[in-house]
Amino acid sequence: MLIILLGPPGAGKGTQADRLVKKYNLVYIATGDILRAAVKSGSPLGQEAKAFMEKGQLVPDEVVVGIVSERLTAPDCRDGAILDGFPRTVAQAEALDQVLGEMGRKVDRVVYIAVDEDELITRLTGRRVCRECAATYHIKFNPPRVRNVCDQCGGELYQREDDSLSTVQERLLVYREQTTPLIDHYGREGLVSKVDGNREIEKIFSEISSILGAGSP
Protein backbone atom coordinates (compact mmCIF):
# COMPACT_ATOMS: atom_id res chain seq x y z
CA MET A 1 0.00 0.00 0.00
CA LEU A 2 1.48 3.33 -1.04
CA ILE A 3 -0.27 6.31 0.52
CA ILE A 4 0.35 10.01 -0.01
CA LEU A 5 -0.68 12.45 2.70
CA LEU A 6 -1.42 15.74 0.96
CA GLY A 7 -2.29 19.01 2.62
CA PRO A 8 -0.95 22.39 3.67
CA PRO A 9 1.82 22.79 6.23
CA GLY A 10 0.22 22.30 9.65
CA ALA A 11 -2.68 20.18 8.36
CA GLY A 12 -1.67 17.34 10.67
CA LYS A 13 0.02 15.05 8.13
CA GLY A 14 2.84 14.07 10.49
CA THR A 15 0.42 13.66 13.41
CA GLN A 16 -1.79 11.30 11.41
CA ALA A 17 1.16 9.48 9.82
CA ASP A 18 2.53 8.65 13.25
CA ARG A 19 -0.69 6.79 14.03
CA LEU A 20 -1.13 5.28 10.55
CA VAL A 21 2.34 3.72 10.34
CA LYS A 22 1.65 1.89 13.61
CA LYS A 23 -1.80 0.71 12.55
CA TYR A 24 -0.86 -0.38 9.01
CA ASN A 25 2.80 -1.25 9.58
CA LEU A 26 4.00 1.05 6.82
CA VAL A 27 7.36 2.77 6.36
CA TYR A 28 7.16 6.52 7.00
CA ILE A 29 8.89 8.80 4.50
CA ALA A 30 8.76 12.50 5.39
CA THR A 31 10.97 14.58 3.14
CA GLY A 32 10.96 17.47 5.64
CA ASP A 33 12.35 15.17 8.37
CA ILE A 34 14.98 13.74 6.00
CA LEU A 35 16.06 17.23 4.93
CA ARG A 36 16.18 18.54 8.53
CA ALA A 37 18.37 15.59 9.52
CA ALA A 38 20.67 16.39 6.58
CA VAL A 39 20.90 20.06 7.62
CA LYS A 40 21.70 19.02 11.19
CA SER A 41 24.47 16.67 10.04
CA GLY A 42 25.96 19.32 7.74
CA SER A 43 26.07 16.86 4.80
CA PRO A 44 26.30 18.22 1.22
CA LEU A 45 22.55 17.58 0.85
CA GLY A 46 21.90 19.57 4.03
CA GLN A 47 24.10 22.42 2.89
CA GLU A 48 22.20 22.60 -0.38
CA ALA A 49 18.76 22.47 1.27
CA LYS A 50 19.34 24.80 4.24
CA ALA A 51 18.79 28.20 2.63
CA PHE A 52 15.59 27.12 0.87
CA MET A 53 14.14 25.67 4.06
CA GLU A 54 14.97 28.70 6.18
CA LYS A 55 13.10 30.92 3.73
CA GLY A 56 10.10 28.59 3.56
CA GLN A 57 10.74 27.82 -0.09
CA LEU A 58 10.88 24.44 -1.76
CA VAL A 59 14.14 22.56 -2.17
CA PRO A 60 14.74 21.89 -5.91
CA ASP A 61 12.68 19.03 -7.36
CA GLU A 62 15.67 16.94 -8.49
CA VAL A 63 17.08 16.92 -4.95
CA VAL A 64 13.90 15.66 -3.25
CA VAL A 65 13.05 13.28 -6.09
CA GLY A 66 16.50 11.72 -5.66
CA ILE A 67 15.95 11.27 -1.91
CA VAL A 68 12.53 9.66 -2.30
CA SER A 69 13.51 7.40 -5.23
CA GLU A 70 16.41 6.01 -3.27
CA ARG A 71 14.31 5.50 -0.15
CA LEU A 72 11.45 3.79 -2.01
CA THR A 73 13.72 1.22 -3.60
CA ALA A 74 14.99 0.05 -0.17
CA PRO A 75 13.75 -3.46 0.76
CA ASP A 76 11.79 -2.28 3.82
CA CYS A 77 9.46 -0.27 1.54
CA ARG A 78 8.38 -3.34 -0.40
CA ASP A 79 5.20 -3.79 1.62
CA GLY A 80 4.22 -0.16 1.61
CA ALA A 81 4.96 3.37 2.66
CA ILE A 82 3.35 6.63 3.66
CA LEU A 83 4.70 9.71 1.93
CA ASP A 84 4.37 12.94 3.93
CA GLY A 85 5.38 16.23 2.35
CA PHE A 86 6.16 14.64 -1.01
CA PRO A 87 5.24 15.22 -3.79
CA ARG A 88 4.85 18.98 -3.45
CA THR A 89 4.91 19.97 -7.13
CA VAL A 90 3.43 18.47 -10.30
CA ALA A 91 6.98 17.76 -11.53
CA GLN A 92 7.64 15.75 -8.35
CA ALA A 93 4.38 13.83 -8.82
CA GLU A 94 5.30 12.98 -12.41
CA ALA A 95 8.77 11.85 -11.33
CA LEU A 96 7.20 9.70 -8.62
CA ASP A 97 4.85 8.07 -11.12
CA GLN A 98 7.84 7.24 -13.29
CA VAL A 99 9.90 5.76 -10.44
CA LEU A 100 6.94 3.69 -9.23
CA GLY A 101 6.14 2.59 -12.80
CA GLU A 102 9.69 1.28 -13.21
CA MET A 103 9.15 -0.76 -10.04
CA GLY A 104 5.76 -2.04 -11.24
CA ARG A 105 4.04 -0.12 -8.47
CA LYS A 106 1.58 2.76 -8.16
CA VAL A 107 0.09 5.25 -5.74
CA ASP A 108 -2.89 3.57 -4.04
CA ARG A 109 -4.53 6.55 -2.34
CA VAL A 110 -4.00 10.26 -1.77
CA VAL A 111 -5.48 11.44 1.51
CA TYR A 112 -5.99 15.19 1.27
CA ILE A 113 -6.29 16.78 4.71
CA ALA A 114 -8.00 20.19 4.34
CA VAL A 115 -7.71 22.80 7.11
CA ASP A 116 -8.72 26.48 7.30
CA GLU A 117 -5.87 28.95 6.97
CA ASP A 118 -6.34 30.69 10.37
CA GLU A 119 -6.19 27.34 12.08
CA LEU A 120 -3.00 26.41 10.19
CA ILE A 121 -1.24 29.52 11.50
CA THR A 122 -2.26 28.72 15.09
CA ARG A 123 -1.13 25.13 14.69
CA LEU A 124 2.23 25.90 13.12
CA THR A 125 3.25 28.71 15.46
CA GLY A 126 2.37 26.53 18.49
CA ARG A 127 4.04 23.37 17.17
CA ARG A 128 6.89 21.76 19.11
CA VAL A 129 9.03 18.92 17.75
CA CYS A 130 11.27 16.37 19.46
CA ARG A 131 14.96 16.89 18.69
CA GLU A 132 15.59 13.15 18.93
CA CYS A 133 12.67 11.33 17.27
CA ALA A 134 10.82 14.19 15.45
CA ALA A 135 7.51 13.44 17.23
CA THR A 136 5.20 16.45 17.00
CA TYR A 137 3.25 18.26 19.72
CA HIS A 138 1.27 21.46 20.12
CA ILE A 139 1.50 23.72 23.16
CA LYS A 140 -2.31 23.86 23.47
CA PHE A 141 -3.90 21.21 21.23
CA ASN A 142 -1.56 18.27 21.82
CA PRO A 143 0.79 19.06 24.72
CA PRO A 144 3.36 16.56 26.01
CA ARG A 145 2.78 15.10 29.49
CA VAL A 146 5.85 16.97 30.79
CA ARG A 147 6.55 20.45 29.41
CA ASN A 148 9.18 20.41 26.62
CA VAL A 149 9.85 16.67 27.03
CA CYS A 150 8.90 14.09 24.39
CA ASP A 151 6.36 11.50 25.63
CA GLN A 152 7.79 8.89 23.27
CA CYS A 153 11.56 9.09 23.89
CA GLY A 154 12.22 11.71 26.60
CA GLY A 155 13.99 13.97 24.06
CA GLU A 156 13.93 17.77 24.28
CA LEU A 157 11.22 19.60 22.35
CA TYR A 158 12.04 22.66 20.24
CA GLN A 159 10.30 25.12 17.94
CA ARG A 160 11.23 24.81 14.27
CA GLU A 161 12.82 27.98 12.90
CA ASP A 162 10.49 27.89 9.91
CA ASP A 163 7.44 27.85 12.23
CA SER A 164 7.85 31.59 12.88
CA LEU A 165 4.88 33.65 11.66
CA SER A 166 6.63 35.27 8.68
CA THR A 167 8.05 31.98 7.36
CA VAL A 168 4.71 30.23 7.92
CA GLN A 169 3.05 32.84 5.70
CA GLU A 170 5.61 32.22 2.95
CA ARG A 171 5.15 28.44 3.25
CA LEU A 172 1.38 28.77 2.92
CA LEU A 173 1.87 30.89 -0.20
CA VAL A 174 4.24 28.32 -1.68
CA TYR A 175 1.71 25.59 -0.86
CA ARG A 176 -1.12 27.44 -2.60
CA GLU A 177 0.91 28.14 -5.72
CA GLN A 178 2.94 24.97 -6.15
CA THR A 179 1.22 22.14 -4.27
CA THR A 180 -2.55 22.66 -4.64
CA PRO A 181 -2.42 21.67 -8.37
CA LEU A 182 -1.73 18.13 -7.10
CA ILE A 183 -5.32 17.87 -5.86
CA ASP A 184 -6.46 17.97 -9.50
CA HIS A 185 -3.50 15.94 -10.73
CA TYR A 186 -4.43 12.98 -8.53
CA GLY A 187 -8.14 13.81 -8.62
CA ARG A 188 -8.20 13.08 -12.36
CA GLU A 189 -7.00 9.57 -11.55
CA GLY A 190 -9.74 9.16 -8.93
CA LEU A 191 -7.16 8.76 -6.17
CA VAL A 192 -8.06 11.62 -3.82
CA SER A 193 -10.02 11.21 -0.58
CA LYS A 194 -10.63 14.59 1.04
CA VAL A 195 -10.80 14.67 4.82
CA ASP A 196 -11.93 17.57 7.01
CA GLY A 197 -8.81 18.25 9.07
CA ASN A 198 -10.41 20.98 11.22
CA ARG A 199 -11.51 18.37 13.75
CA GLU A 200 -9.99 16.46 16.63
CA ILE A 201 -6.94 14.33 15.89
CA GLU A 202 -8.68 11.04 16.77
CA LYS A 203 -11.77 11.80 14.64
CA ILE A 204 -9.57 12.49 11.62
CA PHE A 205 -7.59 9.34 12.28
CA SER A 206 -10.70 7.21 12.39
CA GLU A 207 -11.96 8.68 9.11
CA ILE A 208 -8.63 8.06 7.38
CA SER A 209 -8.59 4.53 8.78
CA SER A 210 -12.01 3.84 7.32
CA ILE A 211 -10.85 5.19 3.94
CA LEU A 212 -7.79 2.93 3.98
CA GLY A 213 -9.71 -0.06 5.29
CA ALA A 214 -9.52 -1.87 8.57
CA GLY A 215 -7.84 -5.04 7.36
CA SER A 216 -4.23 -5.85 6.78
CA PRO A 217 -3.03 -3.84 3.76
Active site residue 36: no
Q: Residue 204 interacts with ligand ADP (CB under 6 A)? A: yes
Instruction: Determine the Cα–Cα distance for residues 155 and 161; give it in Å rounded to an integer.
Output: 18
Listed ranges 18-26, 55-63, 142-150, 197-205: which one lies at the site for ligand AMP (CB under 6 A)? 55-63
Instruction: Determine the Cα–Cα distance for residues 197 and 82; give it in Å rounded to an integer.
Output: 18
| Site track 153-192 with ligand AMP (rule: CB under 6 A), x = hit | ---------x--------x---------------------
Active site residue 128: no
Report the DSSP beta bridge partners of residue 2. 81
Active site residue 88: yes
Instruction: Determine the Cα–Cα distance for residues 122 and 124; give it in Å rounded to an integer.
Output: 6
Q: Which of 36, 88, 123, 128 is catalytic?
A: 88
Active site residue 199: no
Which one of 20, 29, 35, 38 is in contact with ligand AMP (CB under 6 A)? 35
Instruction: Determine the Cα–Cα distance for residues 168 and 202; give it in Å rounded to an integer.
Output: 25
- Other Cβ atoms less than 10 A from the Cβ of 137: the count is 21
Identity of the residue, 162 or 207, whose beta carbon is nearer to ligand AMP in the bound complex: 162
Q: Rounded to whole angstroms, what are the CA distances from 140 to 116, 124, 202, 212?
A: 18, 11, 16, 29
Which one of 12, 31, 34, 88 is in contact with ligand ADP (CB under 6 A)? 12
Q: Rounded to whole angstroms, what are the CA distances from 35 to 77, 104, 184?
A: 19, 27, 27
3 binds, among ligand ADP, ligand AMP, none (CB under 5 to 8 A by kind): none
Positions in the binding site for ligand AMP (CB under 6 A): 9, 31-32, 35, 52-53, 56-59, 64, 85-86, 88, 92, 162, 171
